[in-house]
């Protein structure tokens, strides 16, 4: 018999053996499917969440970095440092940097005013959890914001510190009627009245209140009406070409050192923070979850492999006379070994396919609940099926060897 025909015949025999012992085969397939489902499902959900985090942070200001004060003390790599010269970034320094920085980039100035403000409009008001910021005309671009209605601040409004405001979508929904146009209406922020000139596009609340529950005023107005000692300004820079981010960081640090009046031997007394830092922390934590999920899946598959090996050993004992008969009519030990290996691998692959399908469904259901994109994890599908092949080979090898070594005369006499 040709080798190809022999393999085809062994596959047919293996399939018939699986079909004959339906209940046992189904239980084994489901045990294996459970392990693969856990592995693929969790990893599919994680990959989808990773994509969501990356896109969320990209929309919050991709390829942007900020210059901010270190404060009185800062802990870097386990070492404590005191700041030198100016502990805070003041308005003069922020404006001077914006004028001096000649790198092809968008530069914005912002200052935090309050995080517990109540915004009022006629008889309606928000909870006292609204954040108020002072910004310039470029902050919308560097902060990854979009104006849904109205316009941005004009140069004249910024220079004069006019009482105008851009509000988040959540605030507009809260203090205005459903079909009411917020533009050119007056709202109370702190102790002042501000005319609404813009409403931001909703960003969702996945990362706290965020822009939806924020009010943005001209930074000059905030310096006047929300004044406090040592107001700390932040300068944000977004390079025109994302590939030049690192060069822009170096150029910005050098320029701001000049603004701060630092000597060549002085340590930089400010921080440069990239916008993707938090995203990287979250993704690193998800990597740890990925490893844990992988270990859980492998442990489940290990249990399935032991169960399958036990089932295959039982199958060898039950089919001893069949093995003796096949050997008596000419089947070689290699053919018998191949038959049982094929059977184990086939069961594992059926379980693997079922597990992959269930894993993708469950993983993407979790993604839908977290509003993450639907994905098909081709890599994890391939890894899952490869693991199943390895499990089938490992768990079927010992029973296959045992079956191939049976003496045909003793096998025929077996009761």
For the chain, 415 residues long, give each residue's pLDDT as a single digit of tens: 455 666 777 677 777 777 777 777 787 788 788 878 877 887 777 777 766 665 555 555 557 888 888 654 444 444 444 444 456 889 999 999 999 999 999 999 999 999 889 999 988 999 998 999 999 999 998 888 889 999 999 989 998 889 999 999 999 999 998 889 999 999 999 889 999 999 999 876 544 468 889 999 999 999 999 988 888 999 999 898 878 888 999 999 999 999 988 888 888 888 888 765 555 666 666 677 777 777 777 777 777 777 777 777 777 777 677 777 777 777 777 777 777 788 888 888 888 888 888 888 887 787 777 666 677 777 777 877 887 888 778 777 777 777 777 766 665 555 5
Same-domain status, 222 and 167: yes
Can you name the residues that pair with 66 across neighbouring β-strands?
A: 236, 273
Helix (H, G, I), strand (E, B) or coil at 198: strand
Burial profile 76-85: b = 16 or more Cβ within 10 angstroms, e = fewer: eeeeeeebee
Same-domain status, 325 and 212: no
Spatial separation of the C-alpha atoms in residues 350 and 377, rounded to whole Å: 19
pLDDT of amino acid 409: 63
Domain final residue, candidates 259, 274, 289: 274
Same-domain status, 302 and 245: no
Nearest CA to 383 among 308, 299, 297?
A: 297
Same-domain status, 205 and 354: no
Same-domain status, 217 and 291: no
Count of the separate structural domains present in the chain: 2
pLDDT of amino acid 265: 85
pLDDT of amino acid 222: 93
Q: Is 46 exposed, middle or buried (0-12, 13-18, 19+ CB in 10 A)?
A: buried
Spatial separation of the C-alpha atoms in residues 270 and 357, rounded to whole Å: 51
Domain final residue, candidates 211, 243, 274: 274
Same-domain status, 270 and 285: no
Token duo for residue 54: 């990356």
**pTM for the model:** 0.56
pLDDT of amino acid 207: 44
Domain final residue, candidates 235, 251, 274: 274
pLDDT of amino acid 73: 47
Same-domain status, 49 and 145: no
Same-domain status, 79 and 146: yes
Nearest CA to 281 among 47, 50, 58?
A: 50
Same-domain status, 263 and 286: no
Range of the domain at 159: 65-274
pLDDT of amino acid 292: 75
Spatial separation of the C-alpha atoms in residues 115 and 48, rounded to whole Å: 32
Same-domain status, 48 and 79: no
pLDDT of amino acid 321: 73
Helices 333-369 and 378-404 pack at an angle, to 10 degrees, of 150
Same-domain status, 139 and 256: yes
Same-domain status, 118 and 45: no
Rounded to the nearest 10 degrees, how much is the dihedral formed by the CA atoms of 315, 316, 322, 325? 170
pLDDT of amino acid 82: 44
Spatial separation of the C-alpha atoms in residues 61 and 78, rounded to whole Å: 29
């Amino acid at each position: 018999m040709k080798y190809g025909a022999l393999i085809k015949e062994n596959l047919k025999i293996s399939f018939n053996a699986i079909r004959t012992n339906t209940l046992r085969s189904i239980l084994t397939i489901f045990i294996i499917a459970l392990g693969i489902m856990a592995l693929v499902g969790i990893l599919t959900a994680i990959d989808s969440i990773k994509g969501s985090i990356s896109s969320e942070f990209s929309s919050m200001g991709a390829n942007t970095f900020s210059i901010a004060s270190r404060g009185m003390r800062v802990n870097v790599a386990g070492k404590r440092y005191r700041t030198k010269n100016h502990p805070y970034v003041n308005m003069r320094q922020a404006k001077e940097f914006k004028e001096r920085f000649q790198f092809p980039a968008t530069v914005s100035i912002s200052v935090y005013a309050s995080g517990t403000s109540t915004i009022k409009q006629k008889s309606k008001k928000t909870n006292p959890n609204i954040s108020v910021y002072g910004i310039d005309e470029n902050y919308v671009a560097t902060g990854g914001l979009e104006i849904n209605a109205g316009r941005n601040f004009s140069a004249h409004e910024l220079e004069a510190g006019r009482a105008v405001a851009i509000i988040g979508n959540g605030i507009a929904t809260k203090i205005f009627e459903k079909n009411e146009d917020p533009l050119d209406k007056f709202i109370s922020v702190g102790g002042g009245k501000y005319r609404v000139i813009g409403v931001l596009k909703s960003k969702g609340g996945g990362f706290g209140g965020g822009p939806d529950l924020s009010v943005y005023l001209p930074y000059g107005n905030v310096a006047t009406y929300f004044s406090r000692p040592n107001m700390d300004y932040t300068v944000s820079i977004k390079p025109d070409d994302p590939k030049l981010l690192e060069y822009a960081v170096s150029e910005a640090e050098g320029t701001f050192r000049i603004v701060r009046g630092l000597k060549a031997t002085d340590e930089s007394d400010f921080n440069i923070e990239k916008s993707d830092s938090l995203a990287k922390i979250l993704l690193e934590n998800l990597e740890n979850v990925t490893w844990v999920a992988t270990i859980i899946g492998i442990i489940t598959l290990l249990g399935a492999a032991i169960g399958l090996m036990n089932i295959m050993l039982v199958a060898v004992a039950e089919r001893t006379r069949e093995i003796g008969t096949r050997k008596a009519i000419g089947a070689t030990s290699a053919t018998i070994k191949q038959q049982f290996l094929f059977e184990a691998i086939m069961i594992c692959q059926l379980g693997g396919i079922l597990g992959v399908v269930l894993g993708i469904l469950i993983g993407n259901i979790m993604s839908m609940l977290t509003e993450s994109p639907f994905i098909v994890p081709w890599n994890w599908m391939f890894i899952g099926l490869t693991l199943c092949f390895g499990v089938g080979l490992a768990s079927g090898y010992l029973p296959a060897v045992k079956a191939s070594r049976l003496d045909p005369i003793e096998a025929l006499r077996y009761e």
